Chains A and B, each alone.
Chain A
Amino acid sequence: MLLSSRSELRTLLIFAAVVLMMPIWLLPLGAAYPDLLQKFAIFGIFVIGYNLFFGLTGYLSFGHATFLGVGSYAAVWCFKLLTVNVLPAIVFGILVSGFFAAVIGFICLRRSGIYFSILTLALAQMCYSLAYSVLTPITNGETSLQMEAHDARLLDSWIAPHVGDGLPITHLFGIPMSGYPGFYFCAVILIISFWFSIRIFNSPFGLQLRAIKSNQERMQYSGYNTRIYLFSAFLISGMYAGLAGSLMAAIDPLAGAERMQWTASGEVVLMTILGGVGTLIGPMLGVGVIKYFENIFSSYNHDALLESFSFLPQPLAEALTFVVSPFVGEGWHLTLGILFMLVVIFLPGGIMEGVDRIRARFSRHKQPQQTEQTT
């Protein structure tokens, strides 16, 4: 299981190349525009962190979206109070969500199995409900927390006051964080996060977490305090989520309570399982599929379909449109549901198992190859 550091480097380099070239190879798929690319990268970070906990320890947390939301709120408050430079906001976001993860982890890790899952769910739903209503002075409730013209921005107004009557743009030392620069920024952080997760996967710490997954009692009898390990993993994955949340705010300075709802927590669980629990790359494939469905499949309406089938003869194109249209546009949920079922029925290990099978078939004559991913 352990990779030599050289193959680690190789994996990392291939990963970096694939991520940074997304604007090119996603072009034929219609997904090469800044917002979706940013979302791929950010949810990639989120899911890497989630997988570090769930994939390694087998503990199913149903409340991770809380940390994402808290990270976003913290980052937007940092933009409002301190500066629109994203760096402090990201650090602040990670710290605040780390604090939440510590508290929630401390409480929930006293139980295991489904009792743990429901504890995380309960705490997350409490955070969401309060953020949506009672805590409106802090979170701005339903309307989402946004930057405003009259915000203090102490650091900014001290160094270089904002001119003009529009809102300032979030930036990294002058590089605006919207559009492609925002994507590359997120992509670089994704690559670093990925590297960090490889390190953890292959470290003794990762091994100990896996041991907890396979037999926690035995670990305890061997003298390990398993709860410390679990807690550390939970904390790290919570901070990953906070990083993702603050990046979301960085590229688009807005934070809403919906980000914390159980459906959002459920989404990251689904992404991970769909892609392949406990694999390095799998969960990110899950992100790709779900976000692609949400953004691209949902946009196909009747006319758009007809246009994409226009290379076919008219009656055939119309027949095809008729057949396909229930599954795209407003029917994208249906396709997603079918996909969930098909994947888990035929590929118990998620998409990653499919990738492995294909690779096994192609490399029958060759030596087994190292991990790489292309979709």
Chain B
Amino acid sequence: MDAFILQLLNGLDKGGAYALIALGLTLVFGTLGVVNFAHGALFMLGAFCAVTLQKILTLSQKVKDESITFFDAYKEQPYLEIWFGETGTTIIEWSVPLSLLLAVPVMLTIGLAMERGLIQFFYKRTHAQQILVTFGLAIVVQEIIKSFYGANPIPMPAPPLLSGTAPIGEFLGIGDVVAYPWWRLIYLLFSFLIIGAVFLFLKYTTYGMVVRAGMQDRATVELLGINVERRFTIVFGIAAVVAGLAGVMYTPIVPPDYHMGMDFLVLSFVVVVVGGMGSLPGAVLAGFMLGILQSFASTNEVKNIFPGIDQIIIYLVAMIVLLTRPRGLLGKKGMMES
């Protein structure tokens, strides 16, 4: 029972991450019809918003270690700590949540710039050309980040208050074995919030309704005299922000490096397609489903029966879903089928 709860939490957590990345990707597919291979790069850029803020906050006074003569070794104390004492320390410790504030405007700007500067010229091009140009862009972005921050992962601790484990077992009254990191619980909550917000936005605002209508039948909406393209640009911006925020929040779980977007790229496409092209609920459902299945497939009990199953489970499930349901879980007919 304990193990089951823990693996379920692991799965939900993974699923949250998958769903958040897939959400933006499928939004861009559905509205703009663009296969965006640079979506992973947006996730990575979000994470590096957090890295950058941390670097700024921890700008330090360097006290030279005199015992070392061959090069400059320093004992570093951040200026924030020197100037503000404990308050400064607390600000530094909370740099990851704080970077959410930075990431929203930065990612929105990047998203809009990317759409206006590049993507808009590729609406009418073939998918192959979209893939090549966005893949090229992803490499360029990646290499620029690498030249600033190196290839090594960068540790991004969660605030101490949130870096311990939550005694979930005690909450539920099933003993004290079941404990789960606070940060991962927050990540899960966060993914629910963002997914909910995007859904509410699309469902209940006029803006969102127009976007949805545009996804269904762009020509008709344009005939009504509505500038669909402008709205779709904003949608791209939103997708970039969602990916970026997911990236920020993910940093305490997996220390970010310049390649993390590429690592997620294939997976996020699988999630989107399993969910069904252009279906937002499908992407979310597929994200959580694959996350949970992956967690349970990695348990020793399962691995003893099917060795190596944890390495292929996602692809196996994707295959089974696509073979039994032609357009994924909740896909629409005719979307990206030719």
Direct contact of A and B (CB under 8 A): yes
Contacts of A348 in B (CB 8 A): 125, 129
A326 to B147, CA, bound (A): 9
The answer to the question of B206 belonging to the interface, with a C-beta cut-off of 8 Å to chain A, is no
Given contacts A122-B315, A130-B312, A348-B125, contact A113 B143 (CB under 8 A): no
Given contacts A273-B128, A344-B132, contact A337 B270 (CB under 8 A): no
The answer to the question of B43 belonging to the interface, with a C-beta cut-off of 8 Å to chain A, is no
The 8 Å CB contact of B137, one of A269, A336, A341, is A341
B273: nearest residue on chain A (CB-CB)? A118
B262: nearest residue on chain A (CB-CB)? A263
Chain B, range 305-338, C-beta contacts under 8 Å to A: 307-308, 311-312, 314-316, 318-319, 322-323, 326-328, 336-338
The answer to the question of A60 belonging to the interface, with a C-beta cut-off of 8 Å to chain B, is yes
Given contacts A113-B338, A337-B140, contact A118 B318 (CB under 8 A): yes
Is the beta-carbon distance between B311 and A60 smaller than 8 angstroms? Answer: no
Chain B, range 249-306, C-beta contacts under 8 Å to A: 266, 269-270, 273-274, 277
Is the beta-carbon distance between A331 and B143 smaller than 8 angstroms? Answer: yes
The answer to the question of B131 belonging to the interface, with a C-beta cut-off of 8 Å to chain A, is yes
Quote the shortest CB–CB distance from A50 to chain B (angstroms): 12
Is the beta-carbon distance between A340 and B319 smaller than 8 angstroms? Answer: no
Contacts of A125 in B (CB 8 A): 266, 312, 315
Contacts of B129 in A (CB 8 A): 273, 344, 348
A1 to B292, CA, bound (A): 52
B277: nearest residue on chain A (CB-CB)? A114
Is the beta-carbon distance between B322 and A133 smaller than 8 angstroms? Answer: no
Given contacts A60-B128, A113-B338, contact A340 B312 (CB under 8 A): no
Is the beta-carbon distance between A114 and B307 smaller than 8 angstroms? Answer: no
Given contacts A115-B322, A341-B136, A344-B132, contact A262 B316 (CB under 8 A): no
Quote the shortest CB–CB distance from A311 to chain B (angstroms): 29
B271: nearest residue on chain A (CB-CB)? A118
Is the beta-carbon distance between B135 and A270 smaller than 8 angstroms? Answer: yes
A343 to B129, CA, bound (A): 10
Quote the shortest CB–CB distance from A60 to chain B (angstroms): 7
Quote the shortest CB–CB distance from B307 to chain A (angstroms): 5
Is the beta-carbon distance between B128 and A345 smaller than 8 angstroms? Answer: no
Stretch at the interface among A13-21, A104-112, A226-234: A104-112
A333 to B140, CA, bound (A): 8
Is the beta-carbon distance between A340 and B308 smaller than 8 angstroms? Answer: no
Quote the shortest CB–CB distance from A346 to chain B (angstroms): 11
Contacts of A129 in B (CB 8 A): 308, 311-312, 315
Quote the shortest CB–CB distance from A230 to chain B (angstroms): 13
The answer to the question of A126 belonging to the interface, with a C-beta cut-off of 8 Å to chain B, is yes
Q: Write out, one digit per residue, whether chain B residues 126-162 have a CB within 8 A of any chain A CB (1) or not (0).
A: 0111011101111110111001000000000000000
Q: Write out, one digit per residue, whether chain A residues 48-76 have a CB within 8 A of any chain B CB (1) or not (0).
A: 00000000001010000000000000000
Contacts of B308 in A (CB 8 A): 129-130, 133-134
Is the beta-carbon distance between A134 and B307 smaller than 8 angstroms? Answer: yes
Given contacts A112-B337, A270-B135, contact A277 B323 (CB under 8 A): no
B141: nearest residue on chain A (CB-CB)? A337
Is the beta-carbon distance between A114 and B336 smaller than 8 angstroms? Answer: yes
Is the beta-carbon distance between B311 and A112 smaller than 8 angstroms? Answer: no
The 8 Å CB contact of B319, one of A60, A119, A133, A343, is A119
9 contacts between A and B (CB under 8 A): A112-B337, A118-B273, A121-B269, A122-B319, A126-B316, A336-B136, A337-B135, A340-B135, A348-B129
Please list the residues of chain B having a beta carbon within 8 angstroms of any beta carbon in chain A.
35, 118, 121, 125, 127-129, 131-133, 135-140, 142-144, 147, 266, 269-270, 273-274, 277, 307-308, 311-312, 314-316, 318-319, 322-323, 326-328, 336-338
List the 6 shortest-distance A-B pairs measured between CB atoms, nearest first: A340-B136, A337-B139, A134-B308, A113-B337, A122-B315, A334-B143
Task: Kindly list 11 other residue pairs between chains A and B, CB separation below 8 angstroms, not including A125-B312, A337-B137.
Answer: A60-B127, A110-B323, A112-B338, A118-B273, A122-B318, A126-B315, A269-B131, A274-B132, A333-B142, A337-B138, A339-B136
